[in-house]
Copies of this chain bind each other. A is one copy, B any other.
Amino acid sequence: MTVKTNPGNFFEDFSVGQVLRHATPRTLTTGDAALNTALYGSRFAVQSSDVLARAIGYPRAPIDDLLVFHVVLGKTVPDISLNAVANLGYAECVFHAPVYPGDTLSATSEVIGLRETSDGAAGIVYVRSTGSNQDGQKVLDYARWAMVRKREPGAPAPEPVIPHLHKAVEADRLGDAVPFLDTKAYDTWASGSGDLWDDYAPGERIDHVDGMTVEEAEHMLATRLYQNTARVHFNQYAQASDRFGRRLIYGGYVISLARALSFNGLANAFHLAAINAGRHVAPLVAGDTVFAWSEITDKEPLSGRDDVGALRVRTFATKDKPCDELPGLTEEGHAEGVILDLDYWVLMPR
């Protein structure tokens, strides 16, 4: 007989080059898409309407990119971050193929770096995680690093390996998750804005205006939908003795909320093509109200296609702080109230 419950992996269990196959393949359906709408209220027309999606060249409305991201990340939790002290960052997240209702996602991770912490009690584990569909086609990959406890503090650690990760995804790697579009058929009445790629310029700043208050039931429904089992999100009995005293909301929930809020100002940014970097600056708990604003930081055409172009966007989300004064960085770091600092690429019709 063996121990049957999953204790998760500790720092000692990882080695560079190791590949982990994660459990629970997941068929995504229109049921998941409906829940995604109910949870965030997203209004990007391509994901909302089969008719509009078909008119421009999709076989049907694709699944929201961040729903794909959350489902893939959720699968990695039991193997990568069950014993994590902190999730430290993401990089080089690229969407490679569209996902449609009926597609089945599974996930693997490769360990690409390991570095013991200075106190010897834990270490940073760097992985590159990949989500694939039922045909084995890669739909998403991203690098992520987390601080993971050692099983035995002071246990010997391997030589440090720190992967070289790009600060940003190169623009010529964007767009594989979007078929060539007939953008003449893209209806800017239907999409909610006449502002297309050509109408945005680097340096532009947009307050997304609206605020959304979060409830315990909402973030737990979302996080379970992703089959993400990280304990801090669900167990108030245990969290009561945590330093926050509260369930902590899955960081990806904040990303999806900020993305839904960003519709008001970026309505034609129908595809999130890549995440360059993401930082959860402060935790979010139920009862807080989330606001967001964005700065356009770069603008690139895509090589070999003139249907869509890329905008690099930096979105700051706040809690209990409207964004009309665009709170972002100060000399001491992030402004008070900022909870998310996300650097990503979106595509817009040209």
Contact = CB atoms under 8 A, between A and B. Distances in A.
Interface stretch (A35-43, A137-145, A149-157): A35-43
B322 A209 contact: no
Interface residues of A, number: 82
B1 A199 contact: yes
Contacts of A217: 215-218, 221
Given A190-B25, A211-B238, A227 B31 contact: no
A237 B213 contact: yes
A4 B192 contact: no
Interface string A267-289: 10000000000000000000101
A178 interface: no
A318 to B, nearest CB: 10
A85 to B, nearest CB: 18
A136 to B, nearest CB: 11
Contacts of A26: 48-49
A1 B197 CA distance: 11
B210 A4 contact: no
A49 B78 contact: no
A307 B191 CA distance: 42
B227 A213 contact: no
Nearest to A225: B38
A23 B192 contact: yes
Contacts of A222: 38
A183 to B, nearest CB: 17
Contacts of A27: 48-51, 61
Nearest to A189: B21
Contacts of A23: 43, 45, 189-193, 267
B229 A220 contact: no
29 contacts: A1-B204, A4-B265, A5-B209, A21-B189, A23-B267, A24-B43, A25-B49, A27-B51, A27-B61, A29-B33, A31-B35, A32-B37, A34-B35, A35-B38, A37-B227, A40-B224, A41-B225, A50-B134, A51-B134, A210-B229, A211-B231, A212-B234, A212-B235, A213-B220, A213-B234, A213-B236, A213-B247, A215-B216, A217-B218
